[in-house]
């Protein structure tokens, strides 16, 4: 009996890569998003469901214990809200269409890319600014989106935006937040064009 329970626990939180702890129900989506970030292969990241996250669906943060380690040894936690509130009805995050979820996870991994280059002190200051200054939230969210687009995830990121912005059932307040803080679909298109041009130029050299 006990052995079965342990076996089930291992299945539920099966680490797909030694560095990544992933809940089984959204393992496919997380795995797909991670393939776009080979840089994070050896970065410890724990993906974890949480009952509710204030004002957002997912949240990437450095693991608190990491502040006593060097930046190379830092680990991260990506919290995923179990539910998303749509007007009066809430629905389960795991039931969101796969490409939308992949885009969402891609954005969070964009935050990790941003964090991993910062020193501990810089990260503490970054967290403080995020809590206090609206302007800084905009900068942080757009940086995460940009990392995701640069990593080749634009299609997924656009699907996530489309899902939120063009869904009549989604809470207006939530939509307003997305418009205010994140890159718009037009800006993402511009980034893609710029990236394509750079790639063509590099190929020509």
The footprint of Zn ion (CB under 5 A) covers: 141, 144
Residue 21 vs 57, nearer CB to Zn ion: 57
Please list, in sequence order, all residues whose beta carbon lies within 8 angstroms of the beta carbon of residue 20, skipping any fewer than 6 positions away: 30, 34, 44, 45, 46, 47
Residue 26 vs 78, nearer CB to Zn ion: 78
The dihedral built from the CA positions of residue 13, 18, 19 and 25, taken in this order, carries a sign that is negative
Q: What is the rounded distance in angstroms from the CA atom of residue 84 to the CA atom of residue 175?
A: 13
Considering the complex, what minimum distance in angstroms separates the CB of residue 144 from Zn ion? 5
Residue 55 vs 72, nearer CB to Zn ion: 55
Considering the complex, what minimum distance in angstroms separates the CB of residue 76 from Zn ion? 13
CB 33 within 8 A of CB 99: no
Q: Look at residue 36 and give its three-state secondary structure.
A: coil
Considering the complex, what minimum distance in angstroms separates the CB of residue 182 from Zn ion? 8
Q: What is the rounded distance in angstroms from the CA atom of residue 63 to the CA atom of residue 58?
A: 15
Residue 96 vs 144, nearer CB to Zn ion: 144
Considering the complex, what minimum distance in angstroms separates the CB of residue 68 from Zn ion? 25
């Amino acid at each position: 009996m006990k052995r079965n329970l342990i076996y089930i626990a291992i299945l539920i939180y099966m680490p797909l890569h030694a560095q990544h702890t992933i809940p089984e129900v959204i393992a496919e989506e997380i795995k797909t998003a991670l393939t776009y970030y080979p840089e994070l292969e050896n970065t410890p990241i724990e993906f974890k469901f949480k009952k509710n996250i204030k004002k957002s669906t997912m949240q990437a943060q450095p693991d608190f214990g990491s502040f006593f380690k060097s930046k190379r040894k830092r680990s991260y936690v990506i919290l995923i809200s179990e539910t998303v509130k749509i007007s009066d009805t809430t629905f389960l995050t795991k039931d969101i269409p796969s490409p939308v979820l992949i885009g969402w996870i891609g954005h969070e991994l964009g935050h990790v890319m941003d964090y991993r280059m910062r020193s501990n002190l810089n990260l503490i200051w970054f967290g403080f600014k995020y809590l206090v200054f609206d302007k800084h939230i905009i900068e942080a969210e757009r940086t995460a989106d940009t990392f995701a687009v640069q990593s080749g995830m634009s299609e997924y990121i656009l699907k996530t935006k489309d899902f939120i912005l063009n869904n009549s059932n989604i809470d207006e307040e939530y939509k307003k937040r997305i418009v205010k803080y994140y890159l718009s679909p037009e800006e993402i298109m511009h980034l893609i064009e710029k990236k394509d041009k750079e790639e063509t130029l590099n190929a020509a050299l």
